[in-house]
Structure 1
Amino acid sequence: MSNSLLPPSASSFMRCAEAVGTRITDIPVDLNTLWSPDTCPVHLLPYLAWAFSVDRWDRNWPEETKRQVIRDAWLIHRHKGTISALRRAIEPLGYLIRVSEWWEFGGEPGTFTVEVGTLDSGVTEEMYLEMERLIADARPVSRHMTGLNIIQEIPGDIFAAAATHDGEVITIYPDD
């Protein structure tokens, strides 16, 4: 008696696919390891990011950044359309973010501005465009961004000096 569920008229390809499918259960795979951002093997992280619907992925990121982005994906999707989602979309990239809504700065209703602090590194044009895309994806649909300001604080001492010179020129002529 055959254990096949295929009809007698099944093609050879279908029979081969069935044979492979029955042997796949013999491969020891711990699904809890694969589906956890903390324990997933590094070479499988891009696939896990795809499964978690990560909005932005860069293969050049350090391993910990990749794992953090995957961890935050669920919360980002859950809170999309909120200020929290904007923060969670930008801050894992290593930037600080401050969002000001229209009633805070007297702008047009339904608008907001974003200030991004860059800490020690600057922002490339590609990263700037990527930030615009991420913000557009995470923002409330009823809100429109009117400004994206990049702010970089450069620590250091500033020396300022001033001098003044005051006087008069007096010419004395002989008395004629």
Structure 2
Amino acid sequence: MADAALLPPPLAQDERSQAIALLASRLQGIDLTPVLVYLIDTVNASALPVLGEQFHVMGFEGWLFADTDLARRRLLKRAIELHRYKGTRWALNQVLVTLGLDGRIREWFEYGGDPFRFQVEIDLVSRGIDEDAYNALLALIDEYKNVRSHLDALRLYLTNRSPIPTLASVVLAGEITTVLPYELTHLEQHSPLWLGAALWGVETAIVFPYQE
């Protein structure tokens, strides 16, 4: 046997040693890639949710916004670092970057707000957002922010970038309405005594659209 040739001469004719050599040869040919689950870039996609549970990044901790395998792998690779610095501005900013969200964080002293408050501005370039996703984003921010800090505002900006020229037109219109009092056009009086009185007035009412 070819495997027996690897054995020392005293064991080459031993059937038990030959069986062990054959088993060792088969074990060397086994592909170990599937069991190397911590090689995040190459592990099978079916293992990603299990790793997400293990690294504690499911749900509002990022998984809800990691909508592709690539985004999930990025999140898993950053999971330990994000948890280590959880509660800092850096961690909140990094989780937005990891999930592909173009966000900016402004603390209270940067916009003249109340102490220990902050604002988050996010540009939505390649995705939309519904009410559920908006609430999930609020929960994500609450998960990674400092406990003493409070979110003042979450501003979302929808940006459309396209090689096709964008044409726009604006129409500004107004209307002036004049309301005059009722005026008699014909008056007759049959009496030897003629009395007359008149009252004339003008009132202008301007109604503008509501503005905050």
TM-score band by shorter chain is: 0.5 to 0.7
Among 44, 68, 76, the alignment partner of 1:62 is 68
Alpha-carbon distance in structure 1 between the residues aligned to 2:122 and 2:139: 14
User: How large is the RMSD of aligned CA atoms in angstroms?
Assistant: 2.7
Asked whether 1:40 is paired with 2:43, we answer: yes
The answer to whether the 8 Å contact 2:34/2:44 transfers is no
Secondary structure of the 1:100 match is strand
Among 125, 146, 159, the alignment partner of 1:119 is 125
The answer to whether the 8 Å contact 1:99/1:115 transfers is yes
Among 56, 74, 82, the alignment partner of 2:88 is 82
The answer to whether the 8 Å contact 2:34/2:43 transfers is no
Counterparts of 1:11-160 in structure 2, within 5 Å, are 33-54=36-57, 55-58=61-64, 61-155=67-161, 156-158=166-168
Secondary structure of the 2:40 match is coil
Secondary structure of the 2:125 match is coil
Secondary structure of the 1:116 match is strand
Alpha-carbon distance in structure 1 between the residues aligned to 2:120 and 2:65: 26
Count of aligned positions: 137
Give, as a single letter, the amino acid of the residue that structure 2 aligns with 1:102.
W
Q: CA deviation at 1:38?
A: 1.3
Question: Where does structure 1 lack aligned partners over 5 or more consecutive residues?
Answer: 1-25, 163-176
The answer to whether the 8 Å contact 1:94/1:118 transfers is no
1:60-81 Cα distance to aligned partner (Å, 9 max, x none): 8221111111111112111111
Secondary structure of the 2:36 match is helix
Secondary structure of the 2:95 match is helix
The alignment's TM-score, normalised by the length of structure 1, stands at: 0.67
Q: Which has the higher contact order (CA 8 A, sep 6+)?
A: 1
Q: CA deviation at 1:58?
A: 4.3
More displaced 10-residue stretch of structure 1: 51-60 or 112-121: 51-60
User: Aligned residues: percent identity?
Assistant: 28
Cα 1:150–1:104 change in 2 (3 A) is: same
Q: CA deviation at 1:32?
A: 7.1
The alignment's TM-score, normalised by the length of structure 2, stands at: 0.56
Alpha-carbon distance in structure 1 between the residues aligned to 2:78 and 2:167: 38
More displaced 10-residue stretch of structure 1: 66-75 or 88-97: 88-97
1:22 corresponding residue in structure 2: none
Q: CA deviation at 1:29?
A: 5.4
Give, as a single letter, the amino acid of the residue that structure 1 aligns with 2:151.
M
Alpha-carbon distance in structure 1 between the residues aligned to 2:66 and 2:170: 43
- CA radius of gyration, larger in: 2
